[in-house]
């Protein structure tokens, strides 16, 4: 894994946007795996700005979002589809038919999940997957105990996740209890993964996921098995990493000697 400790959240977002931009220049028809939550918002802002001011082109890009609440319509203001439209899709030139955000009702959820997995395969697999991390170590909605080989499926949210996400709803009772989510196994098949975290609240779980044992109790720890992962955190989220000095040193040396290798495991 490459671990980059940025000074600020803004720098974190810029480094991630640089990596995505490089990917799009290399392969304009890239398949991007996208995440919701407050963490990637700054990266999406960067991408929107680069599209508007510098012509960064998304016309051939295909996107797959990680997850969505069960039974929440795409027009619901708290749905992840609404979030993505608002923060990214409405402001770039992605072709709407290339956008995939899970959407399903309880009655047909298995068929939907199978279809979603097939669509990812038909698109040629995900080139770059963006991730955030939940306070309990989840990636997408893979709550503690999720099999490290899990595929897209229905997942019951933990009490903590429901409480964490309640800030976006009018009250706790409105937060859905179920979500459709890519599995840990689905995520690990992405060719490249970028995981972001910012703020002191994430420091403990970031250290557990990156430097602790690989365990289904912290689904982000499964990323240790992937060959091309970049972890980008701000100084607060990186504050509990035991080898922080070493990670900083690598980053500084790369910036000085081989900037093109930032975000490439070395
Ligand atoms: C939700 C999403 C995750 C996201 C997490 C963290 O649970 N399903 O994909 O990583 O929230 O959210 P935030 O970035 O707001 O801390």
Distance, CA of 158 to CA of 163 (rounded, Å): 9
161 CA: nearest ligand 1 atom: 7
Choose between 196 and 103: higher pLDDT. Answer: 196
**Neighbour count for residue 159 (Cβ, 10 Å):** 10
Residues sharing a CB contact under 8 Å with residue 115, sequence separation 6 or more, in sequence order: none
- Give 219-256 pLDDT, tens digit per residue: 999 999 999 999 999 999 999 999 999 999 999 998 88
For the chain, the domains span 2-261
Choose between 261 and 199: higher pLDDT. Answer: 199
Mean pLDDT for the stretch of residues 100-107: 86
Determine the distance separating the centroid of ligand 1 and the alpha carbon of 257, expressed in angstroms.
34
Distance, CA of 232 to CA of 4 (rounded, Å): 5
What residue owns the CA closest to ligand 1's atom 11?
37
Determine the distance separating the centroid of ligand 1 and the alpha carbon of 38, expressed in angstroms.
7
* Residues annotated as catalytic (active site), given as ranges: 67, 136, 138, 143
201 CA: nearest ligand 1 atom: 16
Residue 217 has pLDDT above 70, yes or no: yes
Helix/strand/coil for 4 = strand
**Cα-to-chain-centroid distance, residue 200:** 19
The length of the chain is 266
Q: What is the pLDDT of residue 266?
A: 61
Strands 128-131 and 31-34 turn out to be parallel
The backbone region for 254, taken as left when phi is positive above 0, alpha when psi lies in -120 to 50, beta otherwise, is alpha
- Give 109-131 pLDDT, tens digit per residue: 999 999 999 999 999 999 999 99
- Listed residue (49, 65, 56, 52) closest to 28, CA to CA: 56
Give kind and range of the element (H or E) at residue 197.
Answer: strand 192-197
Identify the band that residue 258 occupies on the pLDDT scale cut at 50, 70 and 90.
confident
132 CA: nearest ligand 1 atom: 10
- Give 146-164 pLDDT, tens digit per residue: 999 999 999 999 999 999 8
Mean pLDDT for the stretch of residues 168-193: 95
Determine the distance separating the centroid of ligand 1 and the alpha carbon of 75, expressed in angstroms.
20
What residue owns the CA closest to ligand 1's atom 10?
132
Choose between 17 and 266: higher pLDDT. Answer: 17
Residue 75 has pLDDT above 80, yes or no: yes
Would you identify the CATH topology of the domain 2-261? Rossmann fold (3.40.50)
Q: What is the pLDDT of residue 265?
A: 65
pTM for the model stands at 0.96
39 CA: nearest ligand 1 atom: 14
Q: What is the pLDDT of residue 165?
A: 87
Ligand 1: residues whose CB is within 6 Å? 35-39, 66-67, 132-134, 140-141, 161
Residue 106 has pLDDT above 80, yes or no: no
The DSSP letter of residue 171 is: S
Determine the distance separating the centroid of ligand 1 and the alpha carbon of 256, expressed in angstroms.
33
């Amino acid at each position: 894994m490459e671990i980059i400790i940025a000074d600020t959240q803004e720098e974190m977002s810029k480094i991630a946007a640089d990596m995505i931009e490089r990917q799009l220049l290399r392969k304009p028809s890239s398949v991007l795996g996208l995440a919701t939550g407050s963490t990637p918002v700054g990266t999406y802002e960067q991408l929107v700005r680069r599209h508007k001011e510098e012509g960064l082109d998304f016309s051939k890009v295909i996107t797959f979002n990680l997850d969505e609440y069960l039974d929440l319509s795409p027009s619901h203001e708290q749905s992840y589809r609404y979030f993505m439209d608002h923060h990214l899709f409405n402001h770039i030139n992605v072709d709407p038919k290339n956008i995939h955000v899970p959407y399903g009702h309880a009655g047909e959820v298995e068929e939907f999940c199978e279809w979603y997995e097939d669509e990812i395969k038909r698109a040629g697999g995900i080139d770059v997957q963006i991730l955030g991390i939940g306070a309990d170590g989840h990636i997408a909605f893979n709550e503690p105990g999720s099999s490290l080989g899990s595929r897209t499926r229905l997942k019951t949210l933990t009490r903590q996740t429901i409480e964490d996400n309640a800030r976006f709803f009018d009250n706790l009772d409105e937060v859905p209890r179920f979500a459709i989510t890519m599995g840990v196994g689905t995520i690990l098949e992405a060719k490249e993964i970028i995981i972001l975290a910012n703020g002191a609240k994430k420091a403990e779980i970031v250290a557990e996921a990156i430097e602790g044992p690989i365990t289904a109790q912290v689904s982000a720890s499964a990323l240790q098995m992937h060959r091309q992962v970049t972890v980008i955190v701000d100084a607060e989220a990186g504050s509990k990493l035991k080898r922080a000095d070493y990670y900083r040193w690598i980053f500084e040396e790369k910036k000085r000697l081989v900037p093109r290798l930032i975000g490439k495991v070395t």
